[in-house]
Amino acid sequence: MDWVWRNLGQIGELMANHLGVSVIPILAGFALSIPLGWAATRHRTARAVLLSFGGILYTIPSIALFVTLPAMLGTGILDPVNVVVALTLYAVAIMIRSAADAFASVPAEARESADALGYSPVRRFLGVDLPLAGPILLAGVRVVSVSTVSLATVGSVIGVSTLGNLFLDGFHRSFYLEIFVGIVLVLILATVFDLILVAAGRLLMPWTARPPRAPRAAVS
């Protein structure tokens, strides 16, 4: 463990970099998937096209995507923007289906009641569709957060500093403690992200925090 204490500064810097390239894709992927998922529930053709696009996008190897993005974006090969964009695309690919399923789960009666009360389309979306779709959306973004934190380690292969540096350096030096530390820190970071999302879900959707109590049986 002496190695860990001697390199705390470097480990902290790698963890901060990893955090930086993970947060934006999670938030951007969630934001972009909302309109796409909603559109997928409006038309069968749109659903088929969007879900197929998401499935194909997620099958693209991460290394290939990281390497080709600089030519497409005009960025340098070592620019962290490449990793952020790639992870955002993967996040959208995962969240499209979750968002589509979330909005499809909204009861038609709830939408009809909102229309009967004179809700505008925007007000109905914000006040009815989005809250009722919230639990499934939360489950989807939790999967995205774990996937993003994990995939961010691949950025080290193209020279972007993340916790993946610990894997590469430990492998080249056959220093397994360094690899183990990297794995543990990735797991910790993914767990922290998940706990934050769960807490945010309970704060924004308090009705999902506790299941309703079952009625007590009548005593004869």
pTM: 0.85
For 148, counting Cβ atoms within 10 Å of its Cβ (0-12 exposed, 13-18 middle, 19+ buried), the class is buried
Concatenate the DSSP letters of all residues of 146-190 into one string. HHHHHHGGGGGGGT--STHHHHHHHHHTT-HHHHHHHHHHHHHHH
Distance separating alpha carbons of residues 79 and 99, to the nearest angstrom = 30
Please give the single-letter amino acid code of residue 67. V
In this structure, the dihedral spanned by the alpha carbons of residues 108, 114, 115 and 120, taken in order and rounded to 10 degrees, is -120
Do the Cβ atoms of 55 and 93 come closer than 8 Å?
Answer: yes
Distance separating alpha carbons of residues 31 and 92, to the nearest angstrom = 9
Q: Could you give the domains of the chain?
A: 2-207 (1.10.3720.10)
Structure confidence at residue 218 (pLDDT)? 45
Predicted confidence pLDDT, tens digits, the chain (220 residues): 687 788 888 889 999 999 999 999 999 999 999 999 998 888 888 888 888 888 888 888 888 888 888 888 888 877 888 889 999 999 999 999 899 999 999 888 988 898 888 888 888 888 889 999 999 999 999 999 999 999 999 888 888 889 999 998 888 888 888 889 999 999 999 999 999 999 999 998 887 665 545 445 444 3
Query: Could you tell me which residues come within 8 angstroms of residue 78 by beta carbon, excluding any fewer than 6 positions away?
Result: 158, 159, 160
Distances (CA, A) of 12 to 5, 18, 96: 11, 10, 33
Structure confidence at residue 114 (pLDDT)? 87
Structure confidence at residue 27 (pLDDT)? 94
Rg (CA), the chain: 21
Structure confidence at residue 102 (pLDDT)? 92
Backbone angles phi, psi at 59, to 5 degrees: -85, -10
Structure confidence at residue 209 (pLDDT)? 62
Q: Give the SS3 label for residue 78.
A: coil
